[in-house]
């Protein structure tokens, strides 16, 4: 059985939709049959298609179901999944690696590269790890958006995956994001606005809805501002899909380049269309801090806007000492 850890971003999703995301488009009948026969389980127990996932659970999928899914996809006249060269995949992962221990790797994921596969998504971190290190038991324990760059933690082995997944679920692993937003924000504050999916097949967009949405809370600090654009630090207390992007837009200060949530207002002259959101740091329960260097499109935008990165005087913040911060 291949195991998939339920991350904070997957929490609340229906099991059948989760399965389609990890194996691609599948008929409901095929999924129901696999569930009845026990080829798909949650924490070792049989489950139903409409069951809502809880962060920290482990979804086990039998090779039979994965094989059937691959055959189904091949029949859908989709582009052939490219073969990933082992040496090339390993090199890509090694180049992204910030720190490696016996239990985890911290990667600096580039913007535009997905963490997991799905329909029409053939290149992703999960696939590169499997192709490059087939003898290593790497497991994803959280996710960051495809359009977001920065620190991604990957566990090695079942025990480490359980421990780290629990750390993210219980919020004892802290996250620190840097973003450029359009407009100005107060010096600091807390955004508390419930989020829910806006609906529509294949549409992954969140909207603010305190009545029916899931609770979502984000702390922020404005480090520097040029009026038209500001450098902001975000630390999410919850882990909803697109939480920071939706919350920033909710304040009327969308993340620079994020047309999905900010529309035309998110694009200002002289700046590319990449989303200017970076998972800058993680703080582990041991107190260890892992920071990821900023990507080129963000450093360039900072220079154009004349904005300065946080200095030693700006720390500690969000529980980070900042002693290992990098730019």
- The residues annotated with a catalytic role in the active site are 145
Please give the Cα distance from 14 to 257 (Å, whole number). 31
Contact 191, 218 (CB under 8 A): yes
Strand, helix or coil for residue 53:
coil
Q: What's the first-to-final CA gap in the chain, in angstroms?
A: 41
Q: Which residue has the tokens 């600090």?
A: 221
Contacts of 2 (CB under 8 A, 6+ apart): 60, 61, 63, 66
Please give the Cα distance from 149 to 178 (Å, whole number). 10
Other beta carbons within 10 Å of 92 = 21
Instruction: Name the strand (E) or helix (H) holding 303.
Output: helix 296-305
- Residue among 217, 254, 250 nearest 236 (CA): 217
Contacts of 127 (CB under 8 A, 6+ apart): 84, 89, 117
Rg (Cα) of the chain, in Å, rounded? 20
Please give the Cα distance from 268 to 137 (Å, whole number). 44
Contacts of 81 (CB under 8 A, 6+ apart): 73, 122
Structure tokens at 325: 């911060």
Structure tokens at 213: 């949405």
Q: Which residue has the tokens 């989760």?
A: 18
Contacts of 280 (CB under 8 A, 6+ apart): 150, 151, 176, 177, 178, 233, 291, 292, 294, 325
């Amino acid at each position: 059985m291949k195991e998939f850890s339920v991350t904070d971003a997957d929490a609340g999703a229906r099991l059948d939709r989760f399965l389609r995301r990890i194996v691609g488009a599948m008929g409901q009948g095929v999924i129901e049959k696999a569930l009845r026969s026990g080829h798909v389980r949650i924490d070792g127990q049989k489950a139903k298609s409409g069951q809502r996932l809880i962060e920290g659970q482990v979804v086990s999928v039998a090779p039979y179901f994965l094989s059937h899914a691959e055959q189904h996809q091949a029949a859908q006249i989709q582009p052939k999944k490219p073969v990933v060269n082992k040496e090339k995949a390993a090199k890509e992962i090694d180049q992204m690696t910030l720190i490696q221990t016996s239990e985890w790797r911290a990667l600096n994921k580039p913007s535009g590269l997905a963490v997991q596969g799905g329909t029409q998504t053939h290149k992703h971190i999960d696939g590169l790890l499997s192709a490059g290190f087939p003898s290593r038991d790497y497991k994803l324990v959280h996710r960051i958006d495809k359009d977001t760059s920065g620190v991604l933690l990957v566990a090695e082995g079942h025990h480490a995956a359980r421990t780290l997944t629990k750390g993210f679920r219980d919020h004892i692993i802290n996250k620190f994001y840097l973003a450029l937003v359009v407009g100005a924000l107060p010096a600091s504050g807390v955004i508390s606005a419930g989020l829910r999916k806006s609906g529509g097949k294949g549409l992954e967009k969140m909207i603010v809805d305190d009545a029916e949405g899931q609770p979502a809370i984000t702390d922020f600090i404005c480090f520097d501002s040029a009026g038209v654009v500001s450098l902001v630090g975000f630390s999410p207390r919850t882990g909803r899909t697109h939480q920071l992007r939706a919350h920033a837009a909710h304040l009327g200060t969308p993340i620079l380049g994020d047309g999905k949530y900010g529309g035309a207002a998110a694009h200002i002259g002289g700046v590319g269309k990449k989303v200017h959101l970076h998972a800058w740091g993680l703080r582990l329960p041991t107190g260890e801090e892992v920071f990821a260097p900023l990507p080129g499109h963000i450093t360039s935008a900072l220079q154009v806007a004349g904005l300065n990165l946080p200095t030693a005087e700006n720390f500690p913040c969000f529980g980070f000492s900042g002693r290992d911060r990098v730019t």
